[in-house]
Structure 1
Amino acid sequence: MRRWSDLPEVARDVVGALFAFVGGTALYVTGLYFLHEPDTPVSIPVRLAIYLPLCLLTMGRRRMPLPAMAIGLVPLLVDIWIGPSVPVWLVYGDLIYAAVLYSGRRASRIVTVLWSVFSIFLVVLVLTLTVDLRSVSLAFIVVFAFIATPLWWANSVRTHKEIAGAERARAQALTLVAELDRRAAIADERTTMARDLHDVIAGHLSAIAIQSEAALGVLTRQEGDSPVTGIMRSIRSNSVSALQEMRTMIGLLRSGDADEVAAPRRLAQLSILVDAALAAGIAVQVTETLDDTELPSAVDQAAYRIIQEALTNAMKHAPGQEVAIEVGARDGKLALAVHNRLPAVELKHRDNGDPHRGLINMRERAAALGGHFTAGPESGRWAVHAELPLSTAGAS
């Protein structure tokens, strides 16, 4: 049944017409086709010549149900004239069924009314002309089997289809309402998060920027351009930059539309991280071999954040040590590497036992894109390696 329902409607109608013709031919050949035995016998080829056009009309029962039923009246009337036969009435009953089921609502009602009136008229006519109980019974059986049954069955199927369509529309409406409720709940949660970020973190960052600016002014007047002054400039620069990014995140949370706020940072802005590290007294060497490779947005942003976190860890745990950053594309992946030499007391695997939040964040960013991340000692240095697949969806 599943294979049958998977076939195109035209193919199913063609197969149905073929089976109808073969089955009707079998009834004609075996002589089991009489509704009423005619006074003058009719040859089988003549019967088949009348029956074949009716079978061909069934191939258009879905696409043009009303014309097929109307044209089918011609072979039906000819069959009645030479002596009614079961195959012709069976196939024409199917055309009545199709006309009620597949036509428009108004046309379906008109067909039902017309055939109902004709059925009553036919039974009354037979009763008036013959006054024979056997003939009236036969007319009633024909009307019930070949007219009333297709009308009732088609209207029943049509009603069930309309109910199913109404239920589908109702389910779609409920789904839409649920989606709108979900979006409203998300919007409320995003607004709450944005407010909390602004009240807590953004406030602290603003205080750091202001205080570092004040301290920078005092140091400049007292000591001039000293290493401490450079560090304070780096602190102020980083705090202002973090505050800008925090405001970007708050804007994203409030609006939900990334087009209305500044875009997140990407590898093209890697120089900002390098300048911040240089201001803090950290030498940074960058090797980039992307060769104009187009990076998906999600990969580009994640790579920037991983390098930022790795560079922050290097400045924190190995101050004054040179940091080497390598960025390249190979085998459909974006490869990142950040190396720095550690003091002897720091040469231990910091990613076991009590993992740092920064390492967890980097690993999660890589895993979210289907990439790979490792961090640990490597030949006397601390090495961070990440591979992000370039096939990750994230169009700019």
Structure 2
Amino acid sequence: MDNTNLRRDAPTAAITLVCGLLLIGLGLTGVWGSQIGLVQLTDDERWWFAIPLTVSCVALVFKRRAPVTTLLIGFVALAGDSLLGGSIATFLPFFDLLYTAALIGSPRVRRALWIISGGLVAAPMIYVLADTADLRLTVLIGMQQGLLFNAPLWWAMDVRRKTELAEVAAARADAVERLSLASRQQAVRQERDSLARDLHDVVASHLSAIALHSGGALATPPAEAKDRAALAQVRRSALESMEDMRTMIALLRTPDVEPGAEATPTPDDDAAFPRLTHLQPLADQARANGLTVTVDNQLAQLPEGSVSAASELAGYRIVQEALTNAAKHAPYAEVSVQVIKDRDPANASITIRNTLPAAAGTDSPPGLGLGLTSMRERAAAIGGHLTAVATADHWTVTAVLPLLTSPATVNP
């Protein structure tokens, strides 16, 4: 990096030196005359001004590596030039050195430069005014000194401010992009979790029923009537699974549902939109799977719209998964399903309790081990909660769900 800066600044220093020598050759020296210069040089001696010019131009080569040090060297050269009577040539490199120090220096350096430049403007004005009492000359000296010392600082501050604003804008854009990416990734994760729950809830219960009936038929001696009944139930479960998959795919393809918005079922939409207030299809399927099911659904008597679509679907899927688990792990068990208003009338309480088998009979079909996780996630997604407890002879699943939800409370 330093070598790159040296290669970039060396041509600038060389060009500045050539321009300065040209100005000296044109006789633009002795600008301070006898007011400041201690040495009066003749035209033939004006090339002495090339010494401070050369020193300043050499400092230009290293201005980025050591901006404060090179500025001090340039200031000493400018002071020596002024003692010779002053030349415009030495102003050129000093202007660049002061600009660079203000541009890349620390805030402390910049504050010091402003204070020193103010003193360097005021001191010559006071000296000239006290020595000559010429107000016109004093103002002229002040303008010259202000142009020499303040203009580079103002220019550097303006460039630095614009650079910092550009950096802040770039950092803000980068932060917005990172937040947008994180938001998209979170949305993808949430959508994957939602799809996983839906696939599990929609397909697992039917596949479990198929496994139970086919396993039961294979575990007993052949009997045409019994085997045909088992095949009929297998076919029924397969068709129901296909219908549920078709419904889910249709919902996923619906283009006019906003994110976080709820689908509102119609009275004739029970097949396409499962309802907590309509659990009869689940009870019938569970009985066909060999369970003895009793249902006490007090929400079925509520007016239309008393339960939000999100709660209807979540509650239905929780009951469905609980019955599926009972059929897999406690075949032919007695199951009670109770859906009532909770102690908090804004919530519904769902309790599914099944007896546990005394001893293992036929092997249970293997599951994915995601049932309880899926039920808990469904309850939590709409602001509810779920517990599952085993006692000596019963397995109980209890869910508490809000009757009404809003898009703000739904966590997909």
- In the superposition, the TM-score normalised over structure 1's length comes to 0.50
More helix by share: 1
Pick 1 or 2: higher relative contact order, CA cutoff 8 A, min separation 6. Answer: 2
Pick the structure with greater CA Rg. 2
- In the superposition, the TM-score normalised over structure 2's length comes to 0.48
